[in-house]
Structure 1
């Protein structure tokens, strides 16, 4: 790796570590995301009861739990900088690209931890077989990246808004909808016993969307952050 990349990576690591240490002390986002996931999963499981649920419905329910749980934590990533009045300091000491990537990496970590907690509980609660676990893991990974990217860029948009909660949900929905639709489609295949030769288009679409969304977010972030 060229030496010119090391300062950038080091700056990202320093900012990421700052957020991680703050979270380990306060546990605000972790508590929010895990509690919301547990409550949502319990409500869904109780509503379904003993009914046999088709794989297509299970895939949709899983991503509803994932998306709404993730949204409960994403909005705070820049809000805490505004509340602590450290946003202006960040602008002085770090480049916009490194700030975004550090916040994005932190959101990816949060969502990954939530997935490790939620998905096994979901499978156990509904007692079904995942016929293609490799496809499910790949779908969750790409969905994780897409959700974290959307959550990060929208969080900076609403950080200074008066009604942040409602605005975050309204702005998130149209951005997250394509990720949800493709992820649900790929997850359906993972839950079925059929051959998996049809999953390539879904995975390709998710990967393409993640790349486009991350690239666009990096380009837009500097203008939003410095406004």
Structure 2
């Protein structure tokens, strides 16, 4: 049974924990800044398609670093405690909500740093920013669900890589294809692809709600 109060309580717990352990957030932020600065030092000026490709590749690795720890940091004893208090649907929805917020914030910050160091070749900034938020949300959902699976396995990093990249590559290709259209003033038809991306995100949420209880009982 889905309970908004349980979801909100667990979300607040994760948020407060992230605020108290700020070194994890700043560590990811340092990773983002250092990566973008290295690209700036290596390339200085980049074409729009290269700029776009590098941006989404960095989003992918930001997501892996930011989201993967969400389930892996929960000890077995704490998980048993949560099982006594929460339903699996509420637990996974709270994790998806927190990771979505974290990834949206990191996506916005990385976009700002990207424009600061590598310039801004985007012609339609509002549309591109909206796509960045949608893409960051989608990446966080996929890797949050994969992190839940990996947390039950011994080789968690290997599981994330084996399951994650085949699932995320089609989504990344669609994001790159749509975002490429925002680097010119033309108006191609992209609504179908954007709707498809949103449907994929909703499908991941539904899949997590259905399948996570089987992991919860393990």
**Regions of 4+ moved over 6 Å:** none
Find the counterpart in structure 2 of residue 35 from structure 1: 30
> CA shift at 1:121, angstroms?
1.1
> CA shift at 1:74, angstroms?
1.2
Find the counterpart in structure 1 of residue 74 from structure 2: 81
**Structure 1: segments with no counterpart, 5+ residues:** none
1:182 pairs with 174, 189, 210, which one?
Answer: 174
Find the counterpart in structure 2 of residue 159 from structure 1: 151
> CA shift at 1:147, angstroms?
0.9
**CA distance, structure 1, for counterparts of residue 160 and residue 53 of structure 2:** 22
1:136 pairs with 103, 117, 128, which one?
Answer: 128
2:11 pairs with 1, 5, 16, which one?
Answer: 16
2:107 pairs with 112, 115, 120, which one?
Answer: 115
> CA shift at 1:169, angstroms?
2.3
Find the counterpart in structure 2 of residue 205 from structure 1: 196
| TM-score of the two chains, using structure 1 as the length reference | 0.89
Find the counterpart in structure 1 of residue 57 from structure 2: 64
Change (3 A) 1:101 1:29: farther
Q: Is the 8 A contact 1:32 1:73 kept in 2?
A: no
**CA distance, structure 1, for counterparts of residue 212 and residue 42 of structure 2:** 41
1:214 pairs with 202, 205, 211, which one?
Answer: 205
**Structure 2: segments with no counterpart, 5+ residues:** none
| TM-score of the two chains, using structure 2 as the length reference | 0.92
- Aligned pair count reads 218
**CA deviation profile, 1:157-202 (whole Å, cap 9, x unmatched):** 111322322332222111211221111111111222222x322122
**CA distance, structure 2, for counterparts of residue 167 and residue 109 of structure 1:** 24
> CA shift at 1:125, angstroms?
1.4
**CA deviation profile, 1:50-82 (whole Å, cap 9, x unmatched):** x4x322221111111111011012111111112
CA RMSD between the two structures: 1.8
**CA distance, structure 1, for counterparts of residue 162 and residue 202 of structure 2:** 23
